[in-house]
Structure 1
């Protein structure tokens, strides 16, 4: 049994909840997770490498002239795997994803390119949320179905393949360490556990959907003979027309001066079913359970391999099961600059090396302070006209993120999207550019070299000096803050190694 909680008063939105000694209508023992066989992988230092070693076979080679071409080639590989029912090639330990020039020479490759390719491919679905995602509780996305359940037999085979691709890309993103945007962890908890509604346990719902959880507990406390009038708004908005009619019957009774009457239209079993349906529909949506599109999506998320490995088995192997695996995956998301502290290394030339180039100005530069300070602040510090002009050159996937620019997570997330390292360089640094003829011009223009394949960012010190001389000490940081976002946003999706 779920242990009763202490009496609490909490405010969620406009409703005042009085938490009573009651439970949701399913006991803690109603769902017993099935453990997978890969628990030892989670003790490995490099978890993705261990997963590829355990799950894949053969070799994967994907090429494109730019990131969009690479993503198109990658989704083709995902589709072939879906048709075969075998994703082992995508999980091969021998993987090569490359940006190649028109003459066939390699422009960029490496882990950073692979991660960006997976994210770009997944974003083809996430950015078209009206077609693939259904907004549910907490503004999270569940799977959108193309046909109601009663007409589900008419779903086109092509749609089922696309939905399977969507599920597979979510799992590939999780393996690479990226939670899939606004997709609902509840949807994944459901499909990773055999599409069992019981997997949406009381503890899971309370953690991910606290408002829904508290409303459901209040509804449960009313009992089969109590009035549902206080919950009409939530029931109607969540469960739709059928419950609307149910609620209207209640309203007619109460309008007949029977406000305190007991509703005799439901018994305990029906009341429990109503509360359960309220929770499940709030998290998953109204048409998902037993739908063929859900089956296809779940098959993609499972990521079955001919080697016997599957992503589903991996997630079920995590200590505590999928509930804890998903919590770990989502808490790895970057909420603010502090989340980068353990991973961000900012190096700059010593004052001795700076002095011959920049004289006494070098003493005021402090690159690490400038950069970490930039990441800790939020908002749009750019000149409005310059920012508007720059948006023409920014990748469309990045443009969709701009409404979040005031969030404390925006700057560190965009930086990590572009690369995962920072390095300030002197004018004669040979690592800044592969093209020595144009290197000096790029530095004078203040172009940052983002080498996402090596997770390194090289920032020209010459630009910092130029900004310092133009602004002076008082507004130097502001000028740096105005310059950096455009460099970072413009680099994403373009593989900007010079």
Structure 2
């Protein structure tokens, strides 16, 4: 046949006609596949589907004598073709010629995108068009369209045998008409003149791999997974269900369908144990004896670094039992090695500090979503997510682990939104983002989706322009011609992309984060199941946890106990004219916490360099900043605990209070106004000695030249002192 001796080439000028012709001949097949699919398996599937198609294509088999000497990938009916000359058209006619390439036994679809293979198989405008990767097979063309989590494949073949169908009587005969017609319609002569003006300059005889050079397979170093008799991998224990696919690929075709939450197997954790956190530790390490978790150092920062390194070891082994050991000690020591501070308060402070390191690099890890919440940043498209580096996957698993531990301690892992936790805890089922759930945390989004659902395909799309521009990089006008099916499918997509992001849950980076959230252990422990085992399901667990967020003083008030001066301290301060005795100290502290901003901007600016860098100073004007700061200094994190027994206590103390400090430096500390914090007991002690000193001064203050300076009033002096000293207690354990 003439085409068998002709150079195979890309059909560019007549692409649309060529595609239509293939459809007419049942030579285009659509699949949804994982990028890790081996090319050998794909080619076998394509050939099988051709044989089972209405045209009933058949293939010649190699002789049995030859077949016994060949490997399976060497007997494929279709062969892989690569672009010659880096995709530069021949000088004589401008055609892009294809040459045979061998298929390695381990070559996958994603392997075609490797840098060493991309010139052969992933050339923009030639084999990448409109986000579609086109791969050529044998004397055929194979189109692959990446639709987020899947591949759409279109197959075209030349020079093959088919079965003609005539009524009920099927007779087999070889067809030469189709190859001949295809050659005449889409021959080289008809392709001459294709527009190549925007291609690279001519480069003849480029030093590219020859047809005898196997295509290289990507080396993707994955974190090793521990396997026991029960498979505890993320894929099996929390595999996304059929309704959990990417909103663009396989989302439910209606918003908020009837949804039944998946069950969890840890319901008794919420019934039988007074200490929920410890009960989780014991459950996670049952049937094993992990080593004690001992984290020590001379500062919170040192402990946080040591803790992250311990998590890295857990990630490497896919075994988090050491991280969840019931025997745990977080200890801050003095330079001489003696104890400075220890306990659960230190642990929470270390945990929050480690998590804050990721928050400080927000752009690398947190993807802004609706209502200023965040999801997880993905650095690669789903087309090439297999190439995400090992370090990146490790970072995201550590981040997931830290987020899970915060949740375990009743702390919302801000800036992550509740939606991504709800989604992950329920096996990535989009149905878990119910109408009630979305309305609770994102009422504007629910109203937007309700409008979308009721207006139908003929409704005005203008109000949705902001959404499409922000989350889809799309002009709303491009959807004016949508039909009912497309309109209904867009609803779940709007929900998914607004709260989770553009990539499906099968994406490597999302899977890494979700695996960290699981805290997997050899006995099959899965923290995501703990979340959905909560009475009322994951929704109630998340609701309780998100009450830990302090929005203003009212969020803290019910968790705060202010203890007045002890009678012994009152007697010590009973001096004529002492204003402290006439003050309502509880009201004084409440009034301070209800305020906002820096009372003395200059004094505040001078203090900032010696304060913890973890503090978001740009939020000093927000209504909850002072309440968060007090909670952070007292407990180790700027979040309250849902359990009322874990209340924060603030004592106003006199000069002889040994709970403030028992050393010889107590009087000096008090004179300078240092506030004592013990995170292990959630207690703060405010010295009234300094408060009395502030009351005795004259305002406005004077500088050395006698000019008025800050503070200008007594209230400014008190508020500035409290603010700076409370902030100084964050991240520092210089005194007990």
TM-score, reference length from structure 1: 0.85
User: Does structure 1 conserve the Cα–Cα contact (< 8 Å) formed by 2:401 and 2:517?
Assistant: yes
2:415: which partner in 1? Answer: 182
TM-superposed CA distance for 1:409, in Å, is 1.7
TM-superposed CA distance for 1:229, in Å, is 4.3
List per-residue Cα deviations over 1:180-236 (Å, max 9, x = no partner).
122111111111222222222222222222222222222222223445344334323
Q: SS at the partner of 2:560?
A: coil
User: Does structure 1 conserve the Cα–Cα contact (< 8 Å) formed by 2:518 and 2:527?
Assistant: yes
The answer as to 2:255 corresponding to 1:26 is: yes
2:683: which partner in 1? Answer: 456
User: Does structure 2 conserve the Cα–Cα contact (< 8 Å) formed by 1:24 and 1:202?
Assistant: no
TM-superposed CA distance for 1:171, in Å, is 0.7
Partners of 1:390 and 1:169 lie apart in 2 by: 30
Partners of 1:46 and 1:200 lie apart in 2 by: 30
List per-residue Cα deviations over 1:286-344 (Å, max 9, x = no partner).
12432111111111111122343321111011122212211221023222323333432
User: Does structure 2 conserve the Cα–Cα contact (< 8 Å) formed by 1:149 and 1:287?
Assistant: yes
Partners of 2:351 and 2:420 lie apart in 1 by: 20
Partners of 1:350 and 1:321 lie apart in 2 by: 45
1:46: which partner in 2? Answer: 275
Which of 582, 603, 610 is the aligned partner of 1:393?
610
2:592: which partner in 1? Answer: 374
- Which structure 2 residues correspond to residues 68-467 of structure 1 after superposition, within 5 A? 68-241=301-474, 244=475, 247-248=477-478, 250=480, 263=481, 265-266=482-483, 268-350=484-566, 353-360=569-576, 361=578, 362-381=580-599, 383-398=600-615, 401-419=616-634, 420-436=648-664, 438-467=665-694
TM-superposed CA distance for 1:352, in Å, is 5.9
Relative to total residues, which structure has the larger helix share, 1 or 2? 1
List per-residue Cα deviations over 1:134-182 (Å, max 9, x = no partner).
1111111110011121111110011111101111100101111211122
TM-superposed CA distance for 1:86, in Å, is 1.7
Partners of 1:423 and 1:479 lie apart in 2 by: 20
TM-superposed CA distance for 1:36, in Å, is 1.3
User: Does structure 2 conserve the Cα–Cα contact (< 8 Å) formed by 1:370 and 1:477?
Assistant: no
Partners of 1:129 and 1:136 lie apart in 2 by: 13
Partners of 1:346 and 1:470 lie apart in 2 by: 26
Q: SS at the partner of 1:93?
A: coil
Partners of 1:230 and 1:481 lie apart in 2 by: 46
Q: SS at the partner of 1:160?
A: helix
Task: Identify the range of structure 1 (364-373 vs 117-126) with the bigger mean alpha-carbon deviation.
Answer: 364-373
Partners of 2:526 and 2:456 lie apart in 1 by: 43
TM-superposed CA distance for 1:74, in Å, is 0.5
TM-superposed CA distance for 1:51, in Å, is 2.2
> Over the residues paired in the alignment, what is the CA RMSD in angstroms?
2.3
Structure 1 residues 186 and 218: alpha-carbon distance in aligned structure 2, compared to 1, 3 A threshold: same
Structure 1 residues 466 and 131: alpha-carbon distance in aligned structure 2, compared to 1, 3 A threshold: same
User: Does structure 1 conserve the Cα–Cα contact (< 8 Å) formed by 2:595 and 2:623?
Assistant: yes
State the 4+ residue runs in structure 1 displaced beyond 6 angstroms: none
Structure 1 residues 79 and 368: alpha-carbon distance in aligned structure 2, compared to 1, 3 A threshold: same
User: Does structure 2 conserve the Cα–Cα contact (< 8 Å) formed by 1:449 and 1:496?
Assistant: no
TM-superposed CA distance for 1:249, in Å, is 6.8
Partners of 2:676 and 2:462 lie apart in 1 by: 61
User: Does structure 2 conserve the Cα–Cα contact (< 8 Å) formed by 1:142 and 1:283?
Assistant: yes
Structure 1 residues 40 and 249: alpha-carbon distance in aligned structure 2, compared to 1, 3 A threshold: closer
Partners of 1:27 and 1:460 lie apart in 2 by: 56
Partners of 2:505 and 2:268 lie apart in 1 by: 33
**Which structure 2 residue ranges, 5 or more long, are not aligned?**
1-251, 635-647, 700-711
Structure 1 residues 440 and 151: alpha-carbon distance in aligned structure 2, compared to 1, 3 A threshold: same
TM-superposed CA distance for 1:276, in Å, is 1.4
TM-superposed CA distance for 1:476, in Å, is 4.3
User: Does structure 1 conserve the Cα–Cα contact (< 8 Å) formed by 2:256 and 2:433?
Assistant: no
1:13: which partner in 2? Answer: none
Partners of 2:439 and 2:564 lie apart in 1 by: 46
Q: SS at the partner of 1:422?
A: strand
Q: SS at the partner of 2:398?
A: helix
Partners of 1:358 and 1:475 lie apart in 2 by: 25
Partners of 2:479 and 2:550 lie apart in 1 by: 48
Q: Which has the higher contact order (CA 8 A, sep 6+)?
A: 1
Q: Give the number of the structure whose alpha-carbon radius of gyration is greater.
A: 2
Length, aligned pairs only: 453
User: Does structure 1 conserve the Cα–Cα contact (< 8 Å) formed by 2:295 and 2:331?
Assistant: yes
User: Does structure 2 conserve the Cα–Cα contact (< 8 Å) formed by 1:351 and 1:363?
Assistant: no
Q: SS at the partner of 2:331?
A: strand
Structure 1 residues 342 and 214: alpha-carbon distance in aligned structure 2, compared to 1, 3 A threshold: closer
Task: Identify the range of structure 1 (346-355 vs 54-63) with the bigger mean alpha-carbon deviation.
Answer: 346-355
TM-score, reference length from structure 2: 0.59
Structure 1 residues 35 and 496: alpha-carbon distance in aligned structure 2, compared to 1, 3 A threshold: farther
Q: SS at the partner of 1:172?
A: helix
1:6: which partner in 2? Answer: none
